[in-house]
Amino acid sequence: MNPEVRWVLTRQGLATLCIAAISGYAGGLDAAVSAFVGGAIGILGAAAYVWRAMRGAETDPGKVYRAQLLGEAYKYAVVLGGFALVFLRFRELAALPLFLGFGSTVAVYWMALLRTRN
């Protein structure tokens, strides 16, 4: 696995665990589980993107572009499907921790961009 990809996925996992622990301390078990599920949705979306967009060692710009577009489509499908499943099946949902967990995984992308500038 690419070191940058590993960095993003591990930091997303750490951010998810931190938000889940804080949410659990502040709001109980349902809040912790909600935050964890939100982070898991973000991590699974990122993993789907990586799995599709970074398969093979393409050098043709057109194929690389299409792979990136398909990766984004896979990510959005996983994220939307994950949220739909959670809202339909998770009765004890705590919305704020859920979105904080997901948002923490998105914030890791910004950290990765700042990291690559140095």
CA angle 44, 86, 13 (to 5 degrees): 35
pLDDT band of residue 81 (cuts 50, 70, 90) is very high
Q: Does 35 have pLDDT greater than 70?
A: yes
How far apart, in whole angstroms, are the C-alpha atoms of residue 62 and residue 72? 16
* pLDDT given for residue 73 in this prediction: 95
* pLDDT given for residue 117 in this prediction: 62
Q: Residue type for 83, please?
A: F
CB 12 within 8 A of CB 42: yes
CB 7 within 8 A of CB 112: yes
Structure tokens at 72: 């984004």
pLDDT band of residue 41 (cuts 50, 70, 90) is very high
